[in-house]
């Protein structure tokens, strides 16, 4: 949802007038905040009863303060809700890295770039499927898949991202 729509819905919920000039000001003052966070803050504010003498439309200050409160509350939540804190249960096991902070393994000098690698948990969980695909590939004379290479490296202890994965990526 766009910021304009989020704010318009909040105004509707609070039966507030929300002129176009105000929309521009709100959008400008909130521009540095995460859109998802603003959405969560507006949803909370929309559901709350309005206090006596409070303005119908929450001020930008109200919205900012609510965003900060939600962000703080989220930061307090334990990470233990994930079965795998490394990939945070990403369905396909992808973990994103930034090269050169985490080296991608390419030997030649090159510009910084993001890249992804499979989490060991995903490789282990899908070992049978990876081997089956790899076998079919080989029957057709195709090269080994990246997943098969990664699985082999994981099993031999040579998977290059293990040290970084061990440090729980952010
Ligand atoms: Zn994982
Ligand atoms: Zn690289």
Tens of pLDDT, residue by residue over 71-120, are 988 888 766 678 888 888 889 999 988 888 888 878 889 999 988 899 99
Calculate the average pLDDT of the chain. Answer: 86
For residue 145, is it within any domain? yes
Q: 107 and 147 in one domain? A: yes
The band of 137, judged by pLDDT with boundaries at 50, 70 and 90, is very high
For residue 84, is it within any domain? no
Range name among 95-104, 144-153, 154-163 with the lowest pLDDT average: 154-163
Residue 115: domain span: 94-166
Q: What is the pLDDT at residue 26?
A: 92
| C-alpha 125 – ligand 2 centre gap (Å) | 27
Q: Which residues 6+ apart lie within 8 Å of 151 measured at CB? A: 123, 127, 130, 131
For residue 83, is it within any domain? no
Q: What is the pLDDT at residue 80?
A: 63
| C-alpha 109 – ligand 2 centre gap (Å) | 8
| C-alpha 94 – ligand 1 centre gap (Å) | 8
| C-alpha 82 – ligand 1 centre gap (Å) | 9
| C-alpha 114 – ligand 2 centre gap (Å) | 8
Among 83, 76, 67, 80, which Cα is nearest to 125's? Answer: 83
Q: 61 and 101 in one domain? A: no
What global pTM score does this model have?
A: 0.48
Q: 102 and 64 in one domain? A: no
| C-alpha 29 – ligand 1 centre gap (Å) | 38
Counting the structural domains of the chain, the total is: 2
For residue 98, is it within any domain? yes
Q: 153 and 100 in one domain? A: yes
Q: 69 and 26 in one domain? A: yes
Q: Which ligand is in closest contact with the Cα of 93? A: 1
Q: What is the pLDDT at residue 166?
A: 45
Q: Which ligand is in closest contact with the Cα of 120? A: 1
Tell me the average pLDDT across 22-42: 91
Q: What is the pLDDT at residue 169?
A: 37
For residue 21, is it within any domain? yes
| C-alpha 146 – ligand 2 centre gap (Å) | 16
Q: Which ligand is in closest contact with the Cα of 160? A: 2
Task: Kindly list the protein residues that place their beta carbon closer than 5 angstroms to ligand 1, a single-atom ion.
Answer: 84, 86-87, 119, 121
Q: 134 and 72 in one domain? A: no
């Amino acid at each position: 949802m766009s910021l304009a729509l989020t704010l318009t819905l909040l105004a509707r919920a609070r039966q507030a007038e929300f002129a176009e000039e105000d929309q521009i000001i709100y959008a400008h003052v909130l521009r540095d905040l995460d859109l998802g966070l603003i959405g969560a803050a507006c949803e909370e504010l929309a559901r709350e009863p309005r206090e006596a003498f409070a303005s119908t439309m929450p001020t930008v200050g109200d919205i900012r303060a609510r965003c900060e409160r939600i962000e703080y509350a989220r930061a307090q939540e334990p990470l233990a809700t994930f079965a795998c804190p490394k990939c945070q249960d990403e369905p396909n096991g992808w973990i994103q890295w930034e090269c050169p902070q985490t080296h991608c393994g390419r030997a030649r000098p090159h510009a910084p770039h993001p890249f992804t690698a499979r989490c060991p948990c995903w490789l282990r969980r899908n070992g049978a499927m990876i081997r089956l695909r790899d076998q079919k590939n080989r029957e057709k004379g195709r090269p080994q898949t990246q997943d098969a290479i990664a699985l082999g490296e994981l099993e031999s202890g040579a998977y290059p991202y293990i040290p970084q994965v061990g440090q729980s990526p952010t």
